[in-house]
Structure 1
Amino acid sequence: MLASTQELLQTARQNIYAIGAFNIYNLEGVKAVVSAAETHRSAAMLQIHPSALKYGRSALVAMCLEAARAATVPISVHLDHSTNANDIRQALTAGMNSIMADGSHLPYAENMVFTREMTRLAHKSGAIVEAEIGRISGTEDGLTIAEKEAKMTDPAQAVEFVRTTQVDALAVTIGNVHGEYKNPPRLDFDRLARIRRLIDIPLVLHGASGLPGWMISRSIQLGVCKFNVNTEIRQAYMRSLKQEVCAGNGSDLLDIAGVAIAAMQEAIAEKLHLFGSVGKAHLHETPYARSLAGLERFSH
């Protein structure tokens, strides 16, 4: 069922686990996320990066929303890392119920202005907003941020930012990176603990690909209730395609696509277990969630 992102995060936070938000680009990715979530009775998020939105436009959004509605577990659809007001408007018009207004590339004051404006816009549509202060290094979907540009989230600044912008979730930078970790990851858990003590909204950690299980668990204990995953799922897809094509295993495109879906589904399932969301889909069966699902069925 198409779920409220706000409900997913709030329930995960209350029950001390996290929601996996998986970047998708095509039907195979959507099927892999939904199938893994259904098999393991977990809520999940279908997440669209701006580069994928540019590629798939309204058709990709519609596919995600329809897959979420048809799913037997709670699934929400989220716009990731958007720096463009027009893309955010398009996503809201298309029916996404959460967006990330990413002004982290801007000076702090300008980030606050952009995020506040996008939050007002999203709230008018009944959607929630994730934002980011600090700057996460690494490479994802063609966007590269050098280590020298990275900046960890300042806990005191986070208080002012959340109060001024009225965002609903905050992506923190505590040593996490986009893409592959070139060195063993080192997360500043003391910083995360200070942020959690000072602000009372869901916390998000980007760059979950490659983080060891104990870091995932520690982050959840300190208040993270959403992890973004892209690199490992994309790698599973590409590796599967390469192996199948190079090995000449079958000539049917759908057979090759099926193998790729299975490879991604396995990687996604591993993350769902790490995030602690397996077997907890029933916790999202609140009266609000049921009424939202009913409205979706009625309107379609």
Structure 2
Amino acid sequence: MLTSTRELLETARRNIFAIGAFNVYNLEGVKAVINAAEISRSPAMLQLHPSALKYGSSPLVALCLEAAEAATVPISVHLDHSTSVKDIDRVLQDGVRSIMADGSPLPYEQNLEFTRNMTRLAHSYHAIVEAEIGRISGTEDGLTIAEKEAKMTDPQQAVEFVKATNVDALAVTIGNVHGEYKSPPRLDFPRLEQIRMLLDIPLVLHGASGLPAEMIARSIQLGVCKFNVNTEVRQAYMQALKDEICGQQEKDLLEVTGEAIAAMQDVILEKLELFGSVGKAHLHETPYATVLAAAAHRN
């Protein structure tokens, strides 16, 4: 069932587990997420990266919304890492009610202004907004400790940022990176603990691909209630296609795509187990229409 991201995150936060947010690019990815969520009776999120939105446009958005609506477990649909006013406005018009307004590549003051404007726009649609301060990249493993710390989320600045923008969730940078970790990950848990003490909104950690189980568990205990996963699922998809296409036995198209779905599904099932959301679908019982009606009444 299509569910509010706010309701997913708040329920996860109250019950000390996290929601897996998986980037999808096509029907196979959507099926893998929904299948894994239904098998494990877990809530989950379908995330659209800007590159996926550019590729699939409104039909891909419609696919995600329809699949979420038809699912037997709570699923929300989220626009990930968008720096485009046009794209954010378009997906809101298409019915997406969860976005990440990503001004983190900008200088702080410009990030604040962009995020504040996008939050006003999204809230006018009764949508929720995730934002980011600090800077996560796929190359931060090569930085010195001082350089890496300079890019991390400053707890006091996070308080100022959330108050000024009125965002609903915050992605924090505590040593996490996008893509593969080139060296063993080192997360700044004291920094995360301080942020959690100062802020009363859901916290998000990007770059969950490759994080060991103990770091996932510690992050959840310190208030992270959403993890973004992309790299490992994409790798499983590409490897399955390579294995099937280059194999000795010639196979039908649907057999090949079925194997790719199964490969992604296995990775997603493993992540849902790590995030502690398996068997938690029953905790999310509020229909999305009820959530939207309540939001409209408040406004």
Instruction: Give the alignment's TM-score, normalised by structure 2.
Output: 0.94
CA distance in 2, matches of 1:294, 1:84: 28
For 1:120, give the aligned amino acid. Answer: R
CA distance in 1, matches of 2:114, 2:249: 50
Give the 3-state SS of the residue equivalent to 1:210 in structure 2.
Answer: coil
CA distance in 2, matches of 1:206, 1:82: 14
For 2:123, give the aligned amino acid. Answer: H
Change (3 A) 1:219 1:273: same
**Equivalent position of 2:76 in the other structure:** 76
Q: CA RMSD in A?
A: 1.8
CA distance in 1, matches of 2:62, 2:258: 22
1:269 aligns with 2:269: yes
For 1:206, give the aligned amino acid. Answer: H
1:101 aligns with 2:101: yes
**Equivalent position of 1:214 in the other structure:** 214
Give the 3-state SS of the residue equivalent to 1:79 in structure 2.
Answer: strand
- Name the stretch that deviates more: 249-258 or 237-246: 249-258
CA distance in 1, matches of 2:42, 2:293: 20
CA distance in 2, matches of 1:62, 1:261: 20
For 2:290, give the aligned amino acid. Answer: S
CA distance in 2, matches of 1:102, 1:145: 21
**Equivalent position of 2:59 in the other structure:** 59
1:90-132 superposed Cα distances (whole Å, 9 cap, x missing partner): 1101111100000001110110000000000000001000000
**Equivalent position of 1:247 in the other structure:** 247
For 1:163, give the aligned amino acid. Answer: K
1:194-228 superposed Cα distances (whole Å, 9 cap, x missing partner): 00000100000000000000000000000000000
For 1:166, give the aligned amino acid. Answer: N
Change (3 A) 1:213 1:82: same
Change (3 A) 1:39 1:294: farther
For 1:267, give the aligned amino acid. Answer: V
Is the 1:21–1:227 contact (alpha carbons within 8 Å) kept by the matching residues of 2? yes
Name stretches of at least 5 consecutive residues in structure 1 with no aligned partner.
Answer: 296-300
Within 5 A, what are the aligned runs for 1:7-26?
Answer: 7-26=7-26
Within 5 A, what are the aligned runs for 1:157-236?
Answer: 157-236=157-236
Q: How many residues align?
A: 290
Tell me by how many angstroms 1:249 deviates: 3.3
For 2:195, give the aligned amino acid. Answer: I
1:291 aligns with 2:290: yes
CA distance in 2, matches of 1:146, 1:125: 41
CA distance in 2, matches of 1:235, 1:202: 29
1:62-111 superposed Cα distances (whole Å, 9 cap, x missing partner): 00000000000000000000001000001101111100000001110110
CA distance in 2, matches of 1:275, 1:253: 33
**Equivalent position of 1:260 in the other structure:** 260
**Equivalent position of 1:3 in the other structure:** 3
CA distance in 1, matches of 2:42, 2:50: 26
CA distance in 1, matches of 2:141, 2:101: 17
CA distance in 1, matches of 2:181, 2:102: 22
Aligned sequence identity (%):
72
Name stretches of at least 5 consecutive residues in structure 2 with no aligned partner.
Answer: 295-299
Is the 2:10–2:202 contact (alpha carbons within 8 Å) kept by the matching residues of 1? yes
Tell me by how many angstroms 1:137 deviates: 2.0
Change (3 A) 1:273 1:80: same
For 2:224, give the aligned amino acid. Answer: V
Tell me by how many angstroms 1:248 deviates: 3.8
Is the 1:22–1:230 contact (alpha carbons within 8 Å) kept by the matching residues of 2? yes
CA distance in 1, matches of 2:65, 2:174: 32
Is the 1:138–1:180 contact (alpha carbons within 8 Å) kept by the matching residues of 2? yes
Is the 2:244–2:251 contact (alpha carbons within 8 Å) kept by the matching residues of 1? no
Is the 1:137–1:146 contact (alpha carbons within 8 Å) kept by the matching residues of 2? no
Tell me by how many angstroms 1:193 deviates: 0.2
